[in-house]
A = this chain, B = another copy of it.
C-alpha cells in the first residue's frame, strides 16, 4: 500500500510524527510525504524544517491518507490551498482517509465529513460541526473508511487503531512493543473532562490566542 502524509506550512509536529512512527514500522509498505509546493515545509513552531520533495500531483492514488492538524491560521491556509482539491480527488480511491487533531477541519473543508461522526482537538468541536460533521468526544472515531483522531498526541492511538484494522492486531501489538508504547503520563490532565477548571481556562485562553 501507499501511505501518504499530507503536509502543509504550520502543521503540528507530533500530529504528523506520531502516526508516522507507527505506520513506517508496518513492513513492506510505501510511505511518502507530500505537500502542495514541494520545498521546505516548516512546523507551527517555525523550528522544524522538513525537506519535502513530492508534490500532491505526483501521488494521485494513495491507499491511505493522513492529514495532521495545526493552529487555526495554518489550517485556514491549508483549506485555501490545493490540498483540499487533492483530498477531494483522491479520497474516493483510498482504502482509509484519516486525520489527526484539526486535520479533520481540512477533511471537512473537502466535504469528506458531511453528516459523519468525527473527532478533532477538543477546542475545535464547533469548527468541526461547521464543516457538517458530527463532533464526537472520543479519542479515535471510525466511520467506514474514515478515521479521525483527537488532539495532537491522539494520532498515535489513531494509527494503532488503523494498523489493527488493516494489518491485524498482531502487527499493531508488535509495533507497540517496538516503540515501547506503554504510556505513563505523570499527571491525568490530558482531556477537558479530566483537567481542572483553572488549567482548562488557561489553555483555552492561550490556544485561542
Question: How many of chain A's residues touch chain B, expressed as a range?
Answer: 35 or more
Whole-angstrom distance between the Cβ of A149 and the nearest chain B Cβ: 9
In the complex, are the beta carbons of B189 and A176 less than 8 A apart?
yes
> Is there a chain B Cβ closer than 8 Å to A67's Cβ?
no
In the complex, are the beta carbons of B194 and A172 less than 8 A apart?
no
In the complex, are the beta carbons of A176 and B190 less than 8 A apart?
yes
Whole-angstrom distance between the Cβ of A54 and the nearest chain B Cβ: 10
Contacts of A101 in B (CB 8 A): 180
**A16-24, A57-65, A86-94: which lies at the interface:** A16-24
In the complex, are the beta carbons of A47 and B31 less than 8 A apart?
yes
Whole-angstrom distance between the Cβ of A42 and the nearest chain B Cβ: 9
> When A152-B21, A153-B156 are in contact, do A191 and B183 touch as well, CB less than 8 Å?
no
Contacts of A144 in B (CB 8 A): none
Q: Of residues 125 to 166 in A, which have CB atoms within 8 Å of B's CB atoms?
A: 139-140, 150-154, 156-157, 160-161, 164
